[in-house]
Amino acid sequence: MIKTISLRLLFALPLMLSVLLLVGSLIHLVPGNPVDIILGDMASEADKIKLATTLGLDRPFTEQISSYLGGVFKGDLGISLLSKESVVELLVERIAPTVQLAFLAVALALCVAMPLGILSATHAHKPADYLSVFFALLGISMPTFWTGPVFVLIFSLYLGWLPVSEKQSWQSYILPTATLAIPLAAILTRVTRNAFLEVLKSDFLRTARAKGLSPPKIILKHAARNALLPIITVVGLQFGALLTGAVITEKIFDWPGMGSLFLDALNNRDYPLIQGCVLFFALSYTLVNTMIDIIYTVADPRVQLK
């Protein structure tokens, strides 16, 4: 298994290199200049030229990107053009809040979706099933850019129960976690329902019922393990998406995570910081997909890593 994981990570290097080259090329084509953002519109042309030379932005793009890639292979992701801080230090500072938020959102979604999905599957085409379907459709139809501000208005401004933004205490986690968890719980509810419906039709469960096993034992011991693979797949993909795509939610709640850092870097045309964020996103997806494959083998011994 260790050999397989090592090979997969090795094969991921060309992918991450391609992503860096693509993003580096595209960001240089976007209108705007970090020099103008740093100095402002009133700066003289001489000052702009001097700063561009100091930052190395006057060099050809090929020379800039080759120099950056050389630093990446040495573990140096460069210096932020705006804050003058190490990109590695900025990333390390922001990774933990994003990972915490992603873990909490996935955990909350699972706590809601698994019971609802199982209840829906065991009571198919009954009121409980219809309520579950209604919840799933409602959750999927509520985008985070709408849910987040609504939560802020209700629970922060009107009721005053929770902080509006920033990471202040454990209460600060509630609104952004709920905002991210609602659509994920809706998706997982449908996936769980469909997975259990398929397994409940299996011959081995009919045999278990014929032997007189209780419904909870049949569901939790026999059906659950065989229904886990599609659920694990969705959880893994959504967790990867939360690590890379929670930009809107982090911005709404002023959360000090990777999403808001990436958005600020884009707005400021901070090339080294943008490329550092992209590298983290690509590496995150690679590691999450590898972890999914490992969990597959634990959940179902018939699955073998190749």
> What pLDDT score does 109 carry?
92
Q: Could you read off the pLDDT of 196-209 as tens digits, one per residue?
A: 888 877 777 777 77
pLDDT band at 305 (very low <50, low <70, confident <90, very high): low
How far is the C-alpha of 124 from the C-alpha of 138, rounded, in Å?
19
HSE (side-chain half, CA atoms, 13 Å) at 302: 3
What is the pLDDT, as a whole number, of residue 6? 72
Summarised one tens digit per residue, pLDDT across range 237-281 is: 888 888 776 788 888 888 888 888 888 888 888 888 888 888 888
pLDDT in tens, 164-198: 766 777 788 889 999 999 999 999 999 988 888 88
Tell me the percentage of the chain whose pLDDT exceeds 90. Answer: 8
**Would you state the structure tokens that stand for residue 190, as one six-digit string?**
């449908």
Q: What pLDDT, on a 0 to 100 scale, did the predictor assign at position 4?
A: 67
Question: pLDDT tier at 219 (50, 70, 90 boundaries)?
Answer: confident
Output the pTM of the full model.
0.81
What pLDDT digit, counting tens, does each position of 112-132 carry?
999 998 888 888 888 888 888
pLDDT at 121: 85
**With bands split at pLDDT 50, 70 and 90, how would you rate the model's confidence at 41?**
low
303 vs 266, more confident: 266
C-alpha dihedral, 170 to 175 to 176 to 181, nearest 10°:
110
Highest mean pLDDT: which range of 81-95, 101-115, 271-285: 101-115
- Asked whether residue 108 carries a pLDDT value surpassing 90, the answer given is yes
- Mean pLDDT lowest among 82-86, 93-97, 111-115, 241-245: 241-245
Pick the CATH number of 87-299 from 1.10.3720.10, 3.40.50.2300, 1.25.10.10, 3.40.50.12170: 1.10.3720.10
pLDDT value of residue 294? 78
Q: What is the dihedral of CA 27, 75, 52, 33, to 10 degrees?
A: 20
- Which ranges of the chain would DSSP assign to H, the alpha helix? 2-29, 34-39, 45-55, 61-73, 87-122, 127-140, 144-151, 174-200, 203-210, 215-217, 224-245, 247-252, 258-267, 271-299
Average confidence (pLDDT) over 14-29: 74
In the predicted structure, residue 295 carries a pLDDT above the cut 70 = yes
User: What ranges do the domains of the chain cover?
Assistant: 32-76, 87-299
Across the chain, mean pLDDT equals: 80
pLDDT in the model for residue 1: 61
pLDDT score recorded for residue 277: 86
pLDDT of 301 over the 70 cut: no
